[in-house]
Amino acid sequence: MCSEHKELRLVNGKHRCEGRVEVLYNGTWGTVCAVNLDFDDGAVICKQLGCGTLVSIDYNARSFGVGSGPIWLDEMECLSHESTLWQCQADPWGQHNCDHSDDAGVVCSGQSLRLAGGNNSCSGRVEIWCNRAWGTVCDDSWDLNDASVVCRQLGCGSALEATGGAAFGQGNGTIWLDEVKCTGSESFLLDCPSLSTQSDCDHKEDASVICSETVKLRLADGQSRCSGRVEIYYRRLWGTVHHYNWGLRDADVVCGELGCGTALSAPGGAHFGEGSGPIVTSAVRCRGTETALRECRSKTWRHYSDSLFPHSSDAGVICSGEELFTPGSSLFSSDHH
C-alpha cells in the first residue's frame, strides 16, 4: 500500500520559520492542537523544516491566528530525535478534543547555525546545517556586518571581529555560502544576499567571528566552588538550570568544565537554595563525554520565566574536588559573589 503524502508548513509568520503549524494529509491542509505540545514536539517541527532550533511555542492561536479545515494531530509525544512530526506518537489522524482556538504555532531560530573551533560558543568558524550536513562559509566579502548577524542570531551580543583565512581551523563538508553581503540588520544569516552552494573557495578560506558575549558557568551557594546551584551567564544575565532530566552525566560535564573532578551527586529541587533571574535551559541530556554543558542536548537555550519553570526546581551539583583545576579551565567559570 502506498504511503500517504504529507507535508508540513508554518503560516502567518514574519518568515518561513515561524507561524501556525499546518500539515497536509489526504490532500487537505489542517492544523495541530497545542494542548500538551511541548518543546520536544516543537523541536521536531523546526528540525523537519530546516529552521534550526525551537525558540518558543504559540499556544491557543494567540500570535498566528486560527486555522481552518481538519485538526489533524493531537496529543503529540515526540522525543525530539524524530525526523518528521508524523513519526511521533500521537492520537490517530483527525481524532482530537480541540477546536481551532487551540491551534499550535512555533517560532524557530532560522537555519541551524553554530560556531566551531573557538574557545567558547560565541567565537569560532561559522558553520551552517543544511541538507542534513554541517558546512562552512567562504570569507570572500566577509565583514563585520555579516558577523553582526551571526552574533545576533546566536544570542552572542555584538560582533568584535570578522575573520577569514580559517582563523579557527579548516572545516569540512560543503561550503554553503560565498560572497555574503549582509547589511547588518538581518535576523538570520540566510536572509542576507549571497551566492549559495556556488562557491569557488576551499576550506582555507573559511569565515569566522568573535562575538562580545560568552557563555559562563558557575556553582553558587555551595560549601566550596565545586558544589552548588548550577548558574549560567547567558545574554548578559545569570540564570539557572531546571532539574528535569538532570542526572550524574549532566553534573559530570559541569564538574569537568569547571575543573572540579567528577560528579558525586546531582541534586535537584533547589538543594542549594533558589536562584534568581531566568531559567536558561531545561531537560539537559548529556552523554557525559562533552567538555562543556553548552555542548549537551537540551531544550532550547533561552530565558524562561520562573512562572513557567519555578526556581524551586533549580539543579545543583556536588563535585569530587578541585584537584583537576588548572588556570586554563577558568575561561567559562566565575566565582560567585
Query: DSSP letters of 129-159?
Result: EETTEEEEEB-TT--HHHHHHHHHHTT--SE
Grid cell locating 326:
588548572
Answer yes or no: are the C-beta atoms of 132 and 48 closer than 8 Å.
Answer: no
Q: How far is CA 73 from CA 12, 25, 33, 70, 263, in A?
A: 19, 10, 6, 9, 41
pLDDT at 38: 86
Q: Which pLDDT band holds residue 2 (cuts at 50, 70, 90)?
A: very low
The pLDDT tens digits of the residues spanning 117-139 come to: 886 677 889 998 776 678 999 99
* CA angle (183, 188, 191) in 5-degree steps: 60
The pLDDT tens digits of the residues spanning 33-61 come to: 998 888 889 989 988 887 777 878 888 88
Grid cell locating 190:
540566510
CA 323 to chain centre: 32
pLDDT at 300: 59
pLDDT at 142: 96
| Mean pLDDT, rounded, of the chain | 83
pLDDT at residue 327 is higher than 50: no
Query: DSSP letters of 70-87?
Result: -EEE-S-B--S--SSGGG
Kindly state the greatest CA–CA separation across the chain. 65
pLDDT at 158: 83
**Domains parsed from the chain with CATH numbers:** 6-108 (3.10.250.10), 112-211 (3.10.250.10), 216-332 (3.10.250.10)
Q: Which pLDDT band holds residue 305 (cuts at 50, 70, 90)?
A: low
In 10 A of CB 259, how many CB atoms?
20
Q: Which pLDDT band holds residue 281 (cuts at 50, 70, 90)?
A: confident
The pLDDT tens digits of the residues spanning 63-98 come to: 899 999 999 999 998 987 888 899 999 999 999 989
The pLDDT tens digits of the residues spanning 168-205 come to: 999 999 999 999 999 998 877 888 888 765 668 999 99
Query: DSSP letters of 258-314?
Result: TT--SEEE---TTTT----S-EEE-S-B--S--SSGGGSB-SPPS-B-TTTS-GGGB
pLDDT at residue 297 is higher than 60: yes
What percentage of the chain has pLDDT greater than the value 90?
A: 43
The pLDDT tens digits of the residues spanning 219-276 come to: 999 988 899 999 987 666 788 999 988 999 999 999 988 888 899 999 999 999 999 8
Helix (H) or strand (E) holding 324: none
Answer yes or no: are the C-beta atoms of 260 and 226 closer than 8 Å.
Answer: yes
Q: Which residue has the higher pLDDT, 188 or 148?
A: 148
Which residues are CB-contacts of 59 (< 8 A; sequence separation ≥ 6)? 34, 37, 102, 104
